[in-house]
Amino acid sequence: MAREEKRKDVVIVGLGWTGAMLGIELADEGLEVLALERGPDRDTVPDFQYPDVADELKYGVRYGFMQKPKNSTVTMRHNTGETALPYRHLGSFLPGDGVGGAGVHWNGHNWRAMAEEFRLRSYVEEEFGADIIPDDMTIQDWGVTYDELEPHFDRFEYMAGISGQAGNINGEIIPGGNPFEAPRSRDYPMPPLAQTLDGRMFRDAADAMGLHPFPRPAANASEAYVNEYGMQLGPCNYCGFCERFGCLNYSKSSPQTCILDALKRRTNFSYRTHCEVLKVEKAADGKTATGVTYWDEKAGEEVFQPADLVILAAYQLHNVHLMLLSELGEPYNPQTGEGVTGKNYAYQMNGGTALFFEDVDFNPFVGAGSNGYCIDDYAINQIDFAAEGFIGGSYISAGQFNGQPIRSMRLPGDVPKWGAGWKEGIKKWYGHSMSIGSHGSNMAYRDCYLDLDPTYKDQHGRPLMRMTFDWKDNDIRMTQFMRRKIEPIAQSMNPTSWASGYKDAGAKYDLRPYQTTHNVGGTIMGDDPKTSVLNRYLQCWDVHNVFAMGAGAFPQNIQYNPTGVVGALAYWAAEAIRKDYLPNPRPLV
């Protein structure tokens, strides 16, 4: 029999970016808010402080701030005919762990998606015709438009403190910014970061080819900043320990630097760590949730936490898992295409070209997480899908993030893997290379989805979630298109040598190398309960007092890093809850 805790108005599952945002927004409505976090507590001091955090092995290689597969993982297979096997140690993607979640260890690339991406199916049908969409491609509109989200993108950027250069303010194209971006209502809160040599070389090469380079929008402060909650950021010092590390300098936007200290001062907010939510409990009629059951690790017992409103704010994979375990939404069935929970899992199609320069010294350890220049000349709204034979797009960028030698030892192909030749090669080439990357969209497909694994169990005896996913021809054609655009830029820079790495026809998904922690879909939003889990306000269609945040809402993956969109959607949902739901709790659509 589970212990029962005192009722709260709101229980939030997970205390990362969206948990902290919803926490402070709902606490400011005067509600009693409790966040349950299954990992440890973390704060700048002591967890990210200098010099202990500058430890590549502990954090960069052994994943000190990441989810431990022993505690939580998934199984993976490439298609419905295969037997899925567990993701036993981390590789392809790195979910965060503990207070702050993945908001602790990201690099801080903060983007808005394109207006076209929020209504992708309609855009493709209107511009190119429905017949260019392959039969097995299950892309959808989001049910919310860019114009509706614009104020929330703006608020997130001003809350998180983003450094950048606007390219389009209310329709006016601003030189030096991204001319292809959707209109924004005002400039970024901070000017762009200073840029390292590799980025400036890429900028100049792109410029010379008539392309439109702009500084990467960065969740790394370029100057001193105070946000709406009174939280303070200091300018980034280019420490070179950003991605996979917590920020030692109060410069990277994170729940810790932007929200948590302010939130902790609200006396009607509390949080409990080492408390893993096992299930969302539903009322007898199945139409509302009554609260959550969680495992209290310190007490070693199950606890029922009653609450009037349940906010799922865990990482995308964990939100989907919880919804499947709690029977929220009909599980998706790839044979019939019916059901919704777990539908349209998607990832990110990336590739890149490495450039080696014998005579250039890049000082590679000088880096900010979001340092660099980008071009959007081959973005989703710039490509003729009918002519090119694929649906999708990519931003292309160059920027130096770190020179930590275990992970960032880029070597030309003629350097051996070990022995005297390797040792000679690392001396010759460390600090003498850069790369140009393509960060591309990934469409949704009928047989790429998430469900419960029939065999493998987690430490609580619950089925692990099973990922069925592989690369598809459409997205491989997209990345090959990007290769054909990037290689001429690289060659124009006259490197000593260069080498490309893009997925070729027939490429299969490989769980081993790190690719990206941009897992999306599975709790997708939309305007029809038959084809989406959440309505346009991130409210569960079936159980109206459950709202799910995060990139699970993406019906397919955008061509950008997801956090900016996740942040905008969270403020959008928070506003709907505050202004519309709380006065009259009901399905909002």
Q: Hey, which residues between 435 and 474 contact other proteins (CB under 8 A)?
A: 455-457
Active site residue 518: yes
DSSP 344-407: EEE--EEEEEEEE-TT----TT-B-TT-SEEE-TTSGGG--HHHHT----EEEEE------TTT
Q: Does 235 bind other proteins (CB under 8 A)?
A: yes
Is the Cβ–Cβ distance between 56 and 62 less than 8 Å? no
Q: Which amino acid is at 391?
A: I
Q: Does 414 bind other proteins (CB under 8 A)?
A: no
- Angle formed by the axes of helices 563-576 and 17-27, nearest 10°: 20
Stretch that binds other proteins, among 107-115, 153-161, 357-365, 540-548 (CB under 8 A): 357-365
Spatial neighbors of 258 by CB under 8 A, at least 6 apart, are 20, 159, 160, 161, 227, 229, 231, 233
Segment 499 to 518, residues that bind other proteins, using CB under 8 A: 508-512
Spatial neighbors of 179 by CB under 8 A, at least 6 apart, are 167, 168, 173, 212, 376
Stretch that binds other proteins, among 27-35, 160-168, 268-276, 399-407 (CB under 8 A): 399-407
- CB 530 to other proteins: min, Å: 34
The correct pick among 2, 132, 174, 194 for binding other proteins (CB under 8 A) is 194
Q: Does 47 bind other proteins (CB under 8 A)?
A: no
Q: Does 224 bind other proteins (CB under 8 A)?
A: no
**95 vs 60, 64, 67, 405, CA distance in Å?**
13, 11, 6, 23
Q: Does 427 bind other proteins (CB under 8 A)?
A: yes
CB nearer to other proteins: pick between 174 and 366: 366
Name the residue among 378, 501, 535, 546 with its Cα closest to residue 11: 546
Stretch that binds other proteins, among 100-108, 137-145, 404-412, 569-577 (CB under 8 A): 404-412
The correct pick among 123, 156, 238, 572 for binding other proteins (CB under 8 A) is 238
- Phi-psi category of 80—alpha, beta or left, where left has phi over 0 and alpha has psi -120 to 50? alpha
The correct pick among 11, 22, 137, 239 for binding other proteins (CB under 8 A) is 239
Q: Does 229 bind other proteins (CB under 8 A)?
A: no
Is the Cβ–Cβ distance between 118 and 145 less than 8 Å? yes
CB nearer to other proteins: pick between 306 and 431: 431
The correct pick among 79, 80, 83, 491 for binding other proteins (CB under 8 A) is 83
Q: How many CB atoms lie within 10 A of CB 539?
A: 25
Q: Does 237 bind other proteins (CB under 8 A)?
A: yes
Which residue is catalytic, options 212, 318, 439, 518? 518
CB nearer to other proteins: pick between 291 and 403: 403
- CB 294 to other proteins: min, Å: 21
Q: In 3-state terms, what secondary structure has residue 329?
A: coil
The correct pick among 62, 460, 484, 586 for binding other proteins (CB under 8 A) is 62
- CB 149 to other proteins: min, Å: 33
Q: Which amino acid is at 256?
A: Q
The correct pick among 360, 386, 452, 499 for binding other proteins (CB under 8 A) is 360
Segment 1 to 30, residues that bind other proteins, using CB under 8 A: none
275 bridge partner residues? 296
Segment 107 to 166, residues that bind other proteins, using CB under 8 A: none
What secondary structure, in 3-state letters, does 552-570 show? HHCCCECCCCCHHHHHHHH
d(CA 417, CA 289): 55
d(CA 526, CA 537): 9
The correct pick among 51, 300, 413, 583 for binding other proteins (CB under 8 A) is 51
- CB 524 to other proteins: min, Å: 26
- What string marks each residue from 243 to 282 as x (binds other proteins by CB under 8 A) or -? -----x----------------------------------
- Number of residues this chain uses to bind other proteins (CB under 8 A): 71
d(CA 344, CA 138): 7
Buried-exposed string 260-271: b where 16+ CB fall within 10 A, e elsewhere: bbbbeeeebbeb
- Phi-psi category of 108—alpha, beta or left, where left has phi over 0 and alpha has psi -120 to 50? left
The correct pick among 171, 418, 461, 505 for binding other proteins (CB under 8 A) is 418
- CB 227 to other proteins: min, Å: 22
Q: Where are the alpha helices (DSSP H) in 175-227?
A: 197-208
d(CA 509, CA 92): 9
The correct pick among 361, 384, 505, 584 for binding other proteins (CB under 8 A) is 361
Could you tell me the two tokens for 151? 């104020």
The correct pick among 44, 107, 138, 195 for binding other proteins (CB under 8 A) is 195
CB nearer to other proteins: pick between 83 and 491: 83
Q: Does 586 bind other proteins (CB under 8 A)?
A: no
- CB 358 to other proteins: min, Å: 5
Stretch that binds other proteins, among 86-94, 315-323, 473-481, 570-578 (CB under 8 A): 86-94
Spatial neighbors of 378 by CB under 8 A, at least 6 apart, are 393, 394, 395, 396, 481, 482, 485
- CB 476 to other proteins: min, Å: 16
CB nearer to other proteins: pick between 68 and 287: 68
Enzyme catalytic residues: 518
